Amino acid sequence: MDEEKWVTDEYMPTTDEYWSVALVTSGTDMIVASSFVGMGDIEEQERKHSASCIEIYMKKYDVTEQDAYDYFNKKVEDAWKDINRESLIIKEVPRPLIMRVINMTRTTNYLYKDGENFTHPGEEFIEHVKSLFIHRMDI
C-alpha cells in the first residue's frame, strides 16, 4: 500500500498522490458499508501515520498551518453544499440509505473538523463521546 511505503521511506507525498489514496485509507467507505450490514465495531491497531493532508499542503505551497486549515475548511464547506444539494435531488436511492451515508459523513466531519480527534482525541471530544454513550440522559 502506498501509505505504508510513505511511512517506511519517510516520504512526503504530493497532494495528488495523497488524494489518490486518502478516501481508501481513511476507511470511510468501509465504515459506511459496515453501517449497512451491522458489522459492529472496527478497531485500528496502533501504527505510525503518514503525513496528513495539512502537512502535505503546507509543504507543497509553503503556507502556514492556519492557511492549510482555511483551504481545507473551504473544501469541506463546498463538499457539504454538494452533499446537501444532491441529497435533496436524488430520488433513485431510498431516503434511509442516503441518511446513513450523510450521518457517517457528519461523524467523519466531527472527527476531523478541529484537528485529528480520531488519532489524538482532545478533552472536549472525549466528553462528547461520553455524553453519547456513557452518561445517562434524563428524559
Q: Where are the domains of the chain?
A: 2-39+47-133
Please give the Cα distance from 11 to 137 (Å, whole number): 47
- What is the chain's Cα-based Rg? 17
Tens of pLDDT, residues 22-42: 766 665 655 555 454 443 444
Sequence-separated contacts (24+) of 71-76 with Cβ below 8 Å:
76/109, 76/113
Tally Cβ neighbours within 10 Å of residue 10.
Answer: 9
Question: Residue 25's pLDDT is what?
Answer: 62
Please give the Cα distance from 62 to 29 (Å, whole number): 31
Q: What is the CATH number of domain 2-39+47-133?
A: 1.10.600.10
Per-residue pLDDT of the chain (139 residues; tens, 9 = 90+): 577 778 788 888 887 787 777 766 665 655 555 454 443 444 544 556 677 788 889 999 999 999 988 998 898 889 899 989 989 998 888 888 889 888 888 888 877 777 666 667 788 888 887 887 787 777 7
